[in-house]
A = this chain, B = another copy of it.
Amino acid sequence: MNDVTGLLTLQTITGTGLRFGAHFASGREVTFDSGADSVAANPVEALLGALAACEAMDVISILRKKRLHVTAYHVEMGGERAESHPRRYTAITLTHRVTGRGVPQAAVAEALALSEGRYCSVRHTLDPAVPVTHRVEVLEA
């Protein structure tokens, strides 16, 4: 299925809260929030997380296909935003940090290049003018 459909609902209908729940036709959900007392990521955070997770899902899938032994996987996410409205992202840096047993750095870099170039739907929906810098770190378990 290539279509994504869902319903977003304002949960804090009274007061000044900005919490919204998104329910997708797939049955999956995500909550967005904003402001001082918020309980979930705001949309701008969620966008950065979606990009990082999209890439990381591709990378770990490829590493698993290669039978590489990964014991931990983290992505350090950093995004700079413009000072003035609409405060878009002006630069994103993602450091993919893979811990494992004998995982070659080149295998991670290659998997990440495949994600960037061919697979990551989120990356290819973002403005190509937003620079995304990648770093790869491999640690021995």
Residues on A facing B (Cβ under 8 Å): 2-10, 13, 16, 18, 20, 22, 24, 26, 28-34, 38-54, 56-57, 60-61, 64, 70-83, 85-89, 118-128, 130
Which residue of chain B has the shortest Cβ distance to A81 in the bound complex? B2
16 intermolecular pairs with C-beta atoms under 8 Å apart: A6-B76, A8-B52, A8-B76, A10-B70, A10-B72, A13-B73, A22-B49, A24-B41, A30-B31, A30-B40, A32-B50, A44-B54, A44-B121, A47-B125, A50-B50, A87-B124
Q: In the complex the two chains form, is B121's CB within 8 Å of A13's CB?
A: no
**Interfacial chain B residues near A123, Cβ < 8 Å:** 86
Query: Do the beta carbons of A61 and B8 come within 8 Å of each other?
Result: no
Kindly identify which residue among B10, B77, B122, B124 contacts A6, using a CB–CB cutoff of 8 Å.
Answer: B77
Q: How far is the CA of A124 from the CA of B126 in the complex (A)?
A: 9
Closest 3 CB pairs of A and B: A22-B49, A32-B53, A10-B73
Q: Are B8 and A43 in contact, CB atoms less than 8 angstroms apart?
A: no
| Among B18, B20, B34, B122, contact of A43 (Cβ-Cβ < 8 Å) | B122
Q: If A4-B78, A5-B77, A18-B61 touch, does A24 touch B43 (CB 8 Å cutoff)?
A: no
CB distance from A139 to the nearest CB of B (A): 14
- Neighbouring B residues of A8 by C-beta, 8 Å: 49, 52-53, 56, 74-77
